[in-house]
């Protein structure tokens, strides 16, 4: 098949493309590299800034590119906002892609209307980016902005239109599947995120007497929204109490290669305080043998039909719980090598990029050519 993957989140599309290529398919990835993260792509579609001049240049670049994005068997967009433009300007480009290609798929991999709406119902999830039990999380500036953006008069109708119009919706985590499946049961397909373990450097193995190195990645402007602020406070408290046993490693908004190199020297990763599942960063860490402290609720294992492995140290979004779970690891470090191996086995079993690509192919080929 000839496949176009449009947009990028945390290296999902590039990794998927490599898996599809291993299966003999012709794949083109068009993206901005997820902005400052700088992931690989075949065609660069980044914009310099949001000034009027750079906006006009970006629009011209997209218009020049569109005629080349035709006659694909499959087009998959990373999000309803798949171009770095406002929703009203994404819509005509979506319609053009729909008109000139055979099948259209939309990913549910991150922020969108159905995600925000479901979180705000305070019933579907015990906690999430937008709720803690029955309380909505609206105090953080980022949360308020996302609610305003996605529940408003522009992004909401775009998301609804594409979800209803496309041939299929691919969900990458349990959480996103729980948002879309009740609304679109016939076109929602859960497929785990792909991880390429080829050439992956295993992290430094923990040996008795070593300092336990704890890694945390920080996006400064999203720290409260992601819960990184709470996890960081807990980790700093553990480091102060067990200074001779713990080393805390922090990185802030760095490119992917630098992020990965720093990660390789650590044993534990803190990630996704408000999540039920490990996302791409945590999955990459697990493929290297890191122990993830973060989202690992039973719903995640259930959707994967995993009955044996439990590599993730699951935490609820409370500083005390994060602290207690970290302290238990520090005081019982013999469990680190055990969970490290379970993490690697978990990725091989459920997230191998070629196996995941095979699941995509099954979905792509199970549908008739779109009527448009």
> What pLDDT, on the 0 to 100 scale, is given for residue 369?
63
Instruction: Name the 3-class secondary structure at 83.
Output: coil
The residues facing 218 across adjacent strands are 252
**What is the CATH T-level fold of the domain 2-194+353-366, as seen in this structure?**
Rossmann fold (3.40.50)
Q: Is the pLDDT of residue 84 over 80?
A: yes
> What pLDDT, on the 0 to 100 scale, is given for residue 220?
75
Other CB atoms within a 10 A radius of the CB of residue 120 amount to: 20
Per-residue pLDDT tens digits for 319-342: 999 999 999 999 999 999 999 999
Per-residue pLDDT tens digits for 175-188: 999 999 999 999 99
- In the numeric block, which tokens belong to residue 2? 């000839």
CA of residue 237 relative to chain centroid, distance: 28
> What pLDDT, on the 0 to 100 scale, is given for residue 222?
78
Q: What is the largest CA-CA distance in the chain?
A: 65
Instruction: Write out the E strands in the chain.
Output: 2-6, 26-31, 43-44, 74-77, 103-108, 131-132, 135-136, 168-171, 188-190, 212-218, 246-252, 268-271, 291-294, 313-314
Confidence band (pLDDT; 50, 70, 90) for 252? confident
Q: Is the pLDDT of residue 370 over 60?
A: no
Looking at residues 290-308, what average pLDDT do you find? 97
Other CB atoms within a 10 A radius of the CB of residue 74 amount to: 25
> What pLDDT, on the 0 to 100 scale, is given for residue 4?
98
Q: What is the mean pLDDT of the chain?
A: 94
Q: What percent of the chain has pLDDT over 70?
A: 99
Q: What is the pTM of this model?
A: 0.94
Decide the pairing of beta strands 74-77 and 103-108: parallel
Instruction: Name the 3-class secondary structure at 231.
Output: helix
The boundaries of every CATH 3.40.50.2000 domain in the chain are: 2-194+353-366, 212-350
Decide the pairing of beta strands 131-132 and 135-136: antiparallel
Q: Is the pLDDT of residue 371 over 90?
A: no
Lowest mean pLDDT among 115-129, 250-264, 351-365: 250-264
- The whole-angstrom separation of Cα 98 and Cα 74 is 10
Confidence band (pLDDT; 50, 70, 90) for 368? low
- In the numeric block, which tokens belong to residue 51? 């000034």
- The whole-angstrom separation of Cα 211 and Cα 205 is 11
∠ CA 44-260-204, rounded to 5°: 160
Number of helical (H) and strand (E) elements in the chain, helices listed first: 15, 14
Looking at residues 113-130, what average pLDDT do you find? 97
Q: Is the pLDDT of residue 355 over 70?
A: yes
For residues 200 and 288, is the Cβ–Cβ distance under 8 A?
yes
Confidence band (pLDDT; 50, 70, 90) for 372? low
The alpha-helical segments, DSSP class H, found in 101-217 are: 113-120, 141-150, 155-165, 174-180
Per-residue pLDDT tens digits for 262-292: 899 999 999 999 999 999 999 999 999 999 9
> What pLDDT, on the 0 to 100 scale, is given for residue 260?
83
Confidence band (pLDDT; 50, 70, 90) for 309? very high
- The whole-angstrom separation of Cα 43 and Cα 57 is 16
> What pLDDT, on the 0 to 100 scale, is given for residue 68?
97
Decide the pairing of beta strands 26-31 and 43-44: parallel
For residues 351 and 288, is the Cβ–Cβ distance under 8 A?
no
Per-residue pLDDT tens digits for 134-147: 999 998 888 999 99
DSSP 50-81: SSHHHHHHHHHHHHHHGGGS-S-SEEEESSS-
- The whole-angstrom separation of Cα 179 and Cα 363 is 19
- The whole-angstrom separation of Cα 122 and Cα 117 is 9
Other CB atoms within a 10 A radius of the CB of residue 182 amount to: 12
> What pLDDT, on the 0 to 100 scale, is given for residue 21?
98
Question: By C-alpha distance, which of 316, 229, 241, 234 is closest to 268?
Answer: 234
Question: By C-alpha distance, which of 230, 323, 332, 211 is closest to 273?
Answer: 230
- In the numeric block, which tokens belong to residue 26? 């012709």
- The whole-angstrom separation of Cα 228 and Cα 23 is 38
Q: What's the CATH superfamily of 212-350?
A: Glycogen Phosphorylase B; (3.40.50.2000)
> What pLDDT, on the 0 to 100 scale, is given for residue 140?
87
Confidence band (pLDDT; 50, 70, 90) for 256? confident
DSSP 259-285: HHHHHTT-SEEEE-TT-SS--HHHHHH
Per-residue pLDDT tens digits for 199-241: 787 877 888 889 999 999 987 777 888 899 999 999 999 999 9
Per-residue pLDDT tens digits for 35-55: 888 899 999 999 989 899 999
């Amino acid at each position: 098949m000839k496949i176009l993957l449009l947009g990028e989140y945390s290296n999902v599309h590039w990794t998927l493309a490599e898996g599809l290529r291993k299966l003999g398919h012709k794949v083109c990835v068009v993206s901005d590299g997820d902005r400052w993260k700088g992931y690989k792509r075949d065609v660069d579609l980044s914009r310099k800034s949001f000034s009027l001049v750079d906006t006009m240049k970006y629009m011209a670049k997209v218009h020049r590119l569109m005629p080349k994005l035709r006659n694909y068997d499959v087009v998959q967009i990373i999000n309803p906002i798949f171009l770095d433009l406002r929703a009203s300007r994404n819509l005509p480009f979506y319609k053009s892609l729909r008109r000139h290609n055979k099948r259209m798929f939309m990913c549910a991999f991150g922020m969108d209307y159905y995600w925000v709406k479901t979180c705000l119902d305070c019933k579907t999830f015990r906690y999430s980016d937008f709720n803690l039990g029955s309380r909505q999380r609206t105090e953080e500036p980022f949360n308020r902005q996302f609610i305003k953006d996605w529940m408003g008069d522009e992004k909401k109708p775009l998301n609804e239109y594409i979800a209803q119009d496309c041939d299929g919706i691919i969900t990458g985590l349990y959480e996103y599947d729980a948002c879309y499946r009740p609304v679109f049961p016939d076109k929602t397909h859960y497929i785990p995120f792909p991880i390429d373990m080829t050439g992956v450097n295993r992290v430094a193995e923990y040996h008795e007497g070593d300092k336990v190195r704890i890694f945390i990645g920080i996006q400064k402007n999203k720290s409260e929204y992601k819960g990184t602020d709470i996890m960081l406070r807990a980790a700093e408290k553990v480091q102060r109490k067990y200074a001779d046993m713990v080393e805390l490693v922090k990185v802030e908004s760095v490119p992917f290669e630098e992020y990965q190199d720093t990660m390789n020297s650590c044993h534990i990763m803190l990630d996704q305080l408000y999540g039920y599942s490990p996302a791409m960063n945590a999955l990459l860490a697990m493929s290297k043998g890191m122990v993830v402290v973060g989202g690992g609720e039973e719903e995640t294992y259930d959707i994967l039909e995993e009955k044996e492995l439990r590599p993730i140290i699951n935490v609820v979004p409370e500083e005390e719980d994060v602290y207690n779970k970290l302290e238990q690891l520090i005081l019982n470090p013999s469990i680190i090598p055990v969970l490290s191996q379970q993490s690697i086995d978990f990725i091989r079993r459920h997230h191998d990029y070629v196996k995941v690509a095979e699941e995509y192919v099954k979905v792509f080929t199970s549908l008739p050519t779109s009527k448009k």
